[in-house]
Amino acid sequence: MSEEGNLASSTSNGYSSEMPCKKRDDYLEWPEYFMAVAFLSAQRSKDPNSQVGACIVNSENKIVGIGYNGMPNGCSDDLLPWSRTADNKLDTKYPYVCHAELNAIMNKNSADVKGCSMYVALFPCNECAKLIIQAGIKEVIFMSDKYHSTPEMIAARRLFDLAGILYRKFKPKCSKIVIDFDSINSRPSQKPLQVTSN
């Protein structure tokens, strides 16, 4: 057989044995992807102090709900307070704001979220813990537990323990993900996503 025949047979399936092409090995793994979606969602929050996002994922690694902290639908976020402290609690955000977990559950795009996992930036408060339990979510993966010792978080852990809800701190394999919108116009060799390891 001629040399041309050998070359043709090696490329007849559409792949050349001369120049093997391997997949990327620096892609985002599922956990990083879901926590990144939660963090990206948080950027929609208008809260000047705390931007929190949540992402609900089913057993097939499909996102079924996302949310961020904000005022209820139809309630102007220009007319309600965003303060953390005030002489009157009604002048703070706390009686009004909806947490990311609540919004993610309410924004679900499936019949229910039973058996799902929730990725969230902050460990949920007791009120959100109640919603998570009632919604049937089985696991909570959180990034920060900076309010660990507050009564709300202690109560949340007690509720989760009683209901058998798993909760664990997220341990990222990369410390930073940068999205570059200009990268889509770059050459294939240029990376569209920068992932910085710890």
Residues tagged active-site: 101
Neighbouring residues of 103: CB distance < 8 A, sequence distance ≥ 6: 54, 67, 68, 69, 70
Residue of 189, 152, 151, 195 lying closest to 173 (CA atoms):
195
